[in-house]
Amino acid sequence: MQGKIIVVTGALGALGKVVAETAQSRGARVAGIDHAPSQVPTTPDRIEIGGVDLSDAVAAKTATDAAATHFGRLDALINIAGGFAFETVGDGDIKTWQRMYALNVLTALNTSRAALPHLAASKAGRIVNIGAVGALQAGSGMGPYAASKAGVHRLTEALANEWKGKVTVNAVLPSIIDTRANPADMPKADFSKWVTPQELAEVILFLASDAASGITGALIPVAGRV
């Protein structure tokens, strides 16, 4: 990661914070983009661009271009911004499907489209998306979320083929992440089997590194100890 310029979307969330901090600790310079207001002071190695609706293509391009202008280039984009909803198909609301599509597919699509010209100019352009193990086979109540994350999987594959030889595009597929919120929602679960944000960060940053130059179009499950 030494010397890499990395954009992390959803950088103020549970996973985004760990990825951004780990990348920076290994010598990367990081631009965090988030819907929440910025909470991190600007330093030579870190900027935070808050209040951005990445489901809006213009807003995504403005923020991404600002990161590229600040650092002079971009080497990697890590699309972590997203959301979750648990709702059955029959009893749910169509607005939930629209919200999941906007939060999970459009955020990754818009930021990728904005970043690709910058990444193609890098000697090692990388995109890493966040899919979901739950999108490989959807269970009850997982329809809206799983459908949107399946869209992220197909977006990853399409971009990988379209930009082969210029930018690698891969996705990490977590199962349940051991965040502060999830144990509260599932108090009877065995948290020790869940994948941690740090474990995910290791895989994500590997895919964003020079060592992963031969990997593109991969969907990599990171399911913890289940």
Average pLDDT, the chain: 93
- CA-to-CA distance for 104 and 98, rounded, in angstroms? 10
Q: What is the pLDDT of residue 187?
A: 53
CA 213 to chain CA mean position, Å:
19
Neighbouring C-beta atoms of residue 153, cutoff 10 Å:
17
- What secondary structure does DSSP assign to 108-140, as a single string? HHHHHHHHHHHHHTSTTEEEEEE--GGGTS--T
Nearest 5 degrees, angle CA 45-CA 105-CA 216? 65
- CA-to-CA distance for 43 and 29, rounded, in angstroms? 9
Q: Where is pLDDT greater, at 188 or 11?
A: 11
Q: What is the pLDDT of residue 183?
A: 46
Which residues have C-beta within 8 Å of that of residue 123, sequence separation ≥ 6?
Answer: none
Q: What is the pLDDT of residue 41?
A: 87
| 46-56 pLDDT per residue, tens | 999 999 999 99
For residue 42 the two structure tokens come to 């600007």
Q: What is the pLDDT of residue 193?
A: 63
Instruction: Classify burial at 182, counting beta carbons within 10 Å of its beta carbon; exposed 0-12, middle 13-18, buried 19 or more.
Output: middle
Neighbouring C-beta atoms of residue 38, cutoff 10 Å:
17
Q: What is the pLDDT of residue 226?
A: 54
Laid out side by side, the sheet with 5-9 consists of 46-49, 29-33, 5-9, 76-79, 125-130, 167-174, 219-222
Three-state SS string over 174-197 comes to: ECCECCCHHHHHCCCCCHHHCECH
Neighbouring C-beta atoms of residue 88, cutoff 10 Å:
11
Span 170-194, average pLDDT: 67
Is this model's pTM higher than 0.85 or not?
Answer: yes
Span 70-95, average pLDDT: 97
Assess contact for 92 and 78: CB atoms under 8 A: no
Q: Is 21 helix (H, G, I), strand (E, B) or coil?
A: helix
Q: Decide if pLDDT at 185 tops 60.
A: no
Q: Decide if pLDDT at 16 tops 80.
A: yes
Assess contact for 108 and 57: CB atoms under 8 A: no
Number of helices (H), then strands (E), in the chain: 7, 7
Span 22-50, average pLDDT: 95
Q: Is 2 helix (H, G, I), strand (E, B) or coil?
A: coil
